Structures are given as C-alpha cells and as structure tokens.
Structure 1
Amino acid sequence: MGRRPAVRLFFALTFSPAARAALRQAQQRLRAFAPGARYPGEETLHLTLAFLGETPQGRAPQLGELLAALPAPPLALRFSQAGPLSPEEGLWALFPEECPALFALQGELAARLEGAGFPLPRRPFRPHVTLARRVTFPGPALRGQDLLPRPLSVPCGRVSLLRSQLRPQGPLYTELAARG
C-alpha cells in the first residue's frame, strides 16, 4: 500500500492588497540598505499563526472545516518595531505591538488543531511579518527606526490555510481555505 502524498501547510493572517502595499514600503526601505537579500513578493507577505509542515493531503478538508468553525474577529495590527528575527539566518521582520486578540486567535487555533490530532511545534508564538532573508549590510547596519520611522496600522481579518511549495526562486503559496 503506497503512502498518500503530503503537502506543506500552515495557517496565516493574510492581508488585503492595500495592507500588503503598506508592508511593502517597509520592505523597500530595507532593500536600500541590503540590496543583496532575498525579498519575498508582496503577494506572499503574511503573519503565520500555526505551521503544520508536511501533512497528509487527505487531511486538508478537515483543516478547512476547522477553519470554518474558528471565530476570526477582524483585527487591526499596529507594527511599530522592525529588526532581525533570526540574525544567524539573516531574517528581518516587522513585529506588531501587543495585541491580545491576536494571541487569543492563535491560541484558539492551536488548541483546535491539537484537539484534532495535528501536532504543532513547541515554541512560543512570536508574531511577525518576514520582510527579507539572507540580509547582510554592506554599509552601516540598519536600525529598526530607519526601516519603520512611524508605526504602521494594518487591518487584517482574514485567516487562511495555505499550501507552501518551496522553489528556488522563493515559495509559492496557494490558499486552500479562508475565513474572514
């Protein structure tokens, strides 16, 4: 009996085109300081809520049902910090200000996933939007306030189940289900 194919899945807050354009402006400022980094496309900017990784393809409909039952209130995130997420990997990100509703949403999603038998990595939730990978600075290092001179308010109420396909030119995300 052969194994069922697996797909790489995760849940994320996805943004409207206008919100992605605002996030893209911070990304463009970073590009001026680190032109050799890898920059994800504007359409891929998101905030991961739960990463499932390789998941049997046959379980995707169950995840869609779980998402449909998830209370997903509209959120307004305010990004006021920018900086390295993982200096050893050269990841730079935007970080939202404290948002209890975001943590409640992520906690509810994680509890429902674990209750349905989807194990999640055991690490604290650190909300962020990744702007670039492999960031190195040929000149003076960038300070967070150079990248984000004033806070950025971004409405987001859409929670998406995304399939991630890794490619040499960058990941391709396909929305399988959404709420909000």
Structure 2
Amino acid sequence: MSTTSSENMRLFLALWPDDTTRNALTQLQLPLAGRKVPYENLHLTLAFLGPQPQGVAEACKDILARLQSPAIELRLDKVGYFARNRIAWVGAHASPPDLLALHEELGQALAHHGIERERQQFKPHVTLARDASMPVDMTFSPIVWRASLVTLVRSRPTPAGSVYEVLAQRSLDEALRMPDAG
C-alpha cells in the first residue's frame, strides 16, 4: 500500500543506538515492570514532530544531510520515572554539551524550514518501559554510548504498540544514508 501525498506521517528525529548499546539497555529492562520497549524501538528522541505531511520528511532529510554536530559520548547512569505517563527511563545525570548543541541545531533547522515540533523542555532519555511502576533503586554500571547515528523515524501506532520505520539516517561521522528499499 503506497502512501499518498495528502496523508500525514507521525515523525520524530532521534539518536539511534548501536547493537552494543541496545543490548546493555535491554539488560536494564529486565527488573522493570510494565510494557518493555522492544529492542528495535530503543532510541533517544531529539525532536518529536507529530503528524506531518509527507513533504516534511523530505525537508528533514535535508536537515540531516546538513548537520554539523560531532558524534556524542553519552554516559547513561541514571534510571528515572515519569509518573504522569508511567514511563521508566534511563538517562544521564548531566547532559553533555554536545547533546544540547545537537538538539539546538536541529531546533533551529526545523524552525528555518517552518516545521513545528513538540515544545516541551528537552529531557534526554531512553524509554525502557511504558505503563510501568516506579523502578526500584537500581545499581548498574553506566552505559557509555558513542551516539553518532541520527535518524528520521516514522511511527505507526498499532494495537500491539508503535512500529518504527527509519526513513533516513545520518552518521555524524559520515554523509546521509537512505535505508535500502526492500
């Protein structure tokens, strides 16, 4: 089924973990109660765009191609809980300046293209579980993640949870890459 140009797509821009980081994140999920985020959906949202016309995806691909930020070393060393949404998450006690600069760069580029985004305060985190109860105090070795892959992702809600489709990805160390059609 092809998507017509009049259909909206639910989009976000995110840092996409490598397999080593994903494996470490899944280990943190083990003691948590709630609906655990599937391995392939683990990410750190940089900008949530919500429902957007297809043309916005093309503009976002251009934004990805022009990013100037370097890869970021993240030290995920804190498990937390958003009580209002019942979300267990992992993040950093202190956000590295490079992460904040990347978030700002994306925000400025989106504004330049006239693309609206969610305007909540940026609280960098990786969601581990939804409909979760408050995690017990967890002691764990910090996860050191060299975050270099920025993605444009389409989220499709299903009864079993959201399915994510990577529309474009950009290594902060390389040029823009498009996923293989297949």
TM-score normalised to structure 2 length: 0.86
Shift, 1:177, TM fit: 0.8
**Aligned mates of 2:167, 2:5 — CA distance in 1:** 22
Q: Specify the alignment match of 1:87 in structure 2.
A: 83
More helix by share: 1
Unaligned runs of 5+ in 2: 172-182
Question: Does residue 1:113 correspond to 2:110, yes or no?
Answer: yes
Q: Could you report, residue by residue, the CA deviation over 1:102-157 in whole angstroms, capped at 9, with x for unpaired residues? A: 000010001100111001222211100000011136xxx612xx2x4232211210
What secondary structure, in the 3-state scheme, does the structure 1 residue paired with 2:168 have? Answer: strand
**Aligned residue among 118, 133, 136 for 1:142:** 136
Shift, 1:59, TM fit: 2.6
Question: How many residues are matched?
Answer: 167
Which residue identity lines up with residue 171 of structure 1 in the other structure? Answer: S
Which residue identity lines up with residue 84 of structure 2 in the other structure? Answer: E
State the percentage of identical aligned residues. Answer: 37
Question: Does residue 1:163 correspond to 2:154, yes or no?
Answer: yes
What secondary structure, in the 3-state scheme, does the structure 1 residue paired with 2:30 have? Answer: helix
CA contact (8 A) 2:74 2:144 kept: yes
**Aligned mates of 1:171, 1:66 — CA distance in 2:** 25
Which residue identity lines up with residue 69 of structure 1 in the other structure? Answer: R
CA contact (8 A) 1:13 1:46 kept: yes
Which residue identity lines up with residue 91 of structure 1 in the other structure? Answer: I
TM-score normalised to structure 1 length: 0.87
Which aligned segments of 4 or more residues in structure 1 are displaced greater than 4 angstroms?
none
Unaligned runs of 5+ in 1: none
